[in-house]
Structure 1
Amino acid sequence: MAPRKTGLTRVARKKHFKRKGTSQPVLEVGEGSNANPEGEITQPEPPKKRGRGPGKIQKSTEVVEDRPIIWPVGDCEFTCEKDPNKITAAITRLALNNMPGPFRSYNSFDDKTKNNIEFLFLKKFRYHEREDPKHCRDVFEAIAAKRYSAEMYEARDYCFKRWERNIEAWKKFQPHWCLDHPHWHALCDIFFTEDFEKVSLTNKDNRTKSGLLVANHCGSASSHQHFGKLKKLNNGKDPSMGELYLHTHSRRQDGKSPVVAQIASSVIPGGVETNENTDVNGLKDPSTEEPTTLVPDYDIHSLHFTNSEARKLYEKSAGHDG
């Protein structure tokens, strides 16, 4: 007797149809904007982001001799032989990147965090061997506290001008220096508390009591750095203290420094005019004598000082009647 058939049936194999080969022709050179000299198509580069991103700071190095030597010039500034502005930039970035929590002030950091920040800083620079390390540490912390507060203010001011009191929009925005987003969220909550807004309003009233927003035009650069800038523009001639004061505390109607404008308008032998962006040291005729820059009295009545006290102080020191 033949075996009984079961209900199982063999599944029919599906047929796969092979597509006809289609090869995309390679564009020849000049046929498309994405074709390279070999004729192959390259992917277009993504659009570049607009705006100024985080600036470059001094790199760390394990070789002590490669670290620039710095020394303090005052209670809130370091300098060095080349690019002293990198010192402040490094301190600012390290203080902000290593915030241990949502602190409004650098002075609220614990000692362990401060020690670590200075340790990271000394991987980039080194104090002069003749300087007192304790004094250098005090200067370091003074710079860190000042720049930390300034960056906080700039971030708040940016958010308020763009989104006013929309706290959710504030929280979506994260400054490039804040590596921990929850810290920024907590800072935004602090910025919108009633106590903080009262203190902020009081400080703003004190700053704008004279009717103007700034006490000077130094920005993040120190007076020492502005002194070097004016000296370089003026062919190595030291500016007077009065000129330095005018440069940092007044502006012309067009918004320019009266001292920089005066140097730019002066003519040196050969008919070359000096300006803020031109290196004239290589253009002087060595056969001629060192030119002397005649700086006339500035018309202070046409200048815009940062406040009335700044004007009075200059008038008193310069002997003007006002």
Structure 2
Amino acid sequence: MTEIAERATALPARAAARRAPTPIVPAQNVAGTALIVVIAIMTFLSCLTLGAVTLVRDSSSAWQTEISREATIQIKPGDDLDMDASLVAAQGLAAGFAGVRSASIVDEDATARLLEPWLGTGLDLDELPVPRLVIVTIDPNSPPDFATMRTLLAEQVPGAALDDHRTWADRLVAMARTTVAIGLAILGLMLAATVLTVVFATRGAMDGNGHIIEVLHFVGAEARFIAREFRRHFLLTGLKGATIGGVAAIIVFVGFSIWSSANLATPEGDQAAALFGNFAIGFTGYAGVALVAATVTILTGATTHVTVAAYLSELDGRQHD
């Protein structure tokens, strides 16, 4: 009786197992795993590219803001030139212009510190023909008349020259825009490569299960059903790969940020911070990483749907022929 009861209990389970639908696309195989890895790599590289573009854009904006807030008056030493008097005269002339917030003389100690990386310590500026500087802090919203200031300096202060950093700012903006354009182009190429990879993978999966698809299609299975099965499979595949790549990119960005914060006191850290801040891409950068991962996932599903629809159209064409 016990054996009969066990068999009776096992029969519904076996019947349910027989009734369980078999997916058109295998749940997982070597090709599917390879596709996840490829999508993860492409997503990772795309996120790194977007992060680099974000860093360049933010750093360029910060540099431009800093440059637009200051101008420099340089006074070159010459024969019979009273450097101290010239510095005071240049400072007073610049401070009298509307739009100038302050004008300060860079003293000898500060000048020597600026030259230390190239000339070493213990400099005697009186023995070297070193230009002296006056830093002019300006109002970026209402800058002074630089042309008039430059003319008056040339007339009243011998050896004085005004640098409003406009040339550097223009070059910086051009360089940043070029870098951003190149980065976005690379990002577009990576997304295009991802789409092509999904197309080939979908075609491979359909060719491997072509006989099943043809039978289902010819016995009346709707194209929407077949396309939905493939789209769901590859959408999950794209989601897995994009998530792995996006998380890996976030780990890299967080690691660089921690490294730069821990090495701020070193020369390497100071140079890196001067160029890229503390390697923090901010909320916008992390939102961009999430957007790239979502875009890759959506492109994977949409590409699969279009590819399957085209394949079924070819079947219909062969059937009519």
Smaller-chain TM-score bracket: under 0.3
Flag the structure with higher helix content.
2
TM, length-normalised to structure 1: 0.22
More relative contact order, 1 or 2 (CA 8 Å, 6+ apart): 2
TM, length-normalised to structure 2: 0.22
Q: Which has the larger radius of gyration?
A: 2
